[in-house]
Amino acid sequence: MFFVWSQKRINVKLAFWGPVDSGKTTVVHALAAQVAQRVDDVDVPERDTRQAVGMRRNALPVEVDEPDTRFTTYFCHPPGEIGEFSGYPVHYQCKTPEQPLEGNLALEKVLDGISAVIFVADAARERQGANEEALRDLVARLSQRYQVDAGSTSALVEQLFGADGPLRLVLLANKVDLDSAVSGEDVRRGLMLPSWVEVVESVATGERGVFEAFTAAAQAMRPLLEQAQQRGRIPS
């Protein structure tokens, strides 16, 4: 996260990660629709005030499709509590890598400077192995970046995402509408994620669960914002 001094706002980054085809891009689009709806619900004086102080309006997700860098990115400033910290607006940059993943530099790019990951797992029973593989890959990449000690995936999850870790994690169990879907709790247990990892069940195609998971991630990041403020990276 960083503080944009010229605009007196906070920027935080979130990665939407998960196995191929779990619904990551659909989730980002559903989030945009949900945020847009909530922004419209905000009463007009507040919206005018926000525009008057130069806050960017909520854009739509954009797909960047360059030969070596393919990802979807979405920038938003949600209304309400998660849209503010210590009197400053909080803007969220959401990114997810796109296919084909081979040679896609965005796999690393989406992890640059993030504060949290929303892990979009596929609830379909037959995709549980793919979820595990994607989590292992994510944890391996983050372990290198944050130089946490080698260990089991569970141990690394604790070091990366636990109370003293640099990042936060929310598990989204997507596609729970499928006949073959297992519950969010079953997805969590299958991934051997500890009980403190928040799980949200979703149907991204119906926009269900998506804003809840985003809110959970935003709330989970608050202590990181507090730490940043204590270190002087965000003014008091």
Ligand X SMILES: Nc1nc2c(ncn2[C@@H]2O[C@H](COP(=O)(O)OP(=O)(O)OP(=O)(O)O)[C@@H](O)[C@H]2O)c(=O)[nH]1
> For binding to ligand X (CB under 6 A), which residues are involved?
20-26, 98-99, 174-175, 177-178, 203-205
Taking contact as CB under 5 A, which single stretch among the options 1-9, 23-31, 84-92, 121-129 is the one that binds Mg ion?
23-31
CB of 204 to Mg ion, least distance (A): 11
Report how far apart, in Å, the C-alpha atoms of 84 and of each of 79, 222, 225 are.
Answer: 8, 10, 11
10 Å CB burial of residue 196 (0-12, 13-18, 19+) is exposed
Phi then psi for 169, rounded to 5 degrees? Answer: -135, 130
The smaller minimum CB distance to ligand X, of residues 108 and 226, is found at 108
Count the site residues for Mg ion by CB under 5 A: 3
Q: Which of residues 86-115 bind Mg ion (CB under 5 A)?
A: 98
The smaller minimum CB distance to ligand X, of residues 65 and 81, is found at 65
Taking contact as CB under 5 A, which single stretch among the options 20-28, 29-37, 167-175, 202-210 is the one that binds Mg ion?
20-28
The smaller minimum CB distance to Mg ion, of residues 73 and 159, is found at 73
Q: Report yes or no: 91 and 9 within 8 Å, Cβ to Cβ.
A: yes
Residue 22 sits in the site that holds Mg ion (CB under 5 A): no
Give the residue ranges of DSSP H helices in the chain: 24-41, 44-52, 106-109, 128-146, 153-161, 184-190, 210-230
Can you spell out the DSSP letters for 147-199? Answer: TPPP--HHHHHHHHHSTTSS-EEEEEEE-TTSTTBPPHHHHHHHTT--TTSEE
**15 HSE (CA, 13 A, CB side):** 26
Sole binder of Mg ion in the list 17, 19, 23, 25 (CB under 5 A): 25
CB of 182 to ligand X, least distance (A): 14
Q: Closest residue to ligand X, Cβ-based? A: 23
CB of 144 to Mg ion, least distance (A): 24
CB of 140 to ligand X, least distance (A): 18
CB of 71 to ligand X, least distance (A): 9
Positions in the binding site for Mg ion (CB under 5 A): 24-25, 98
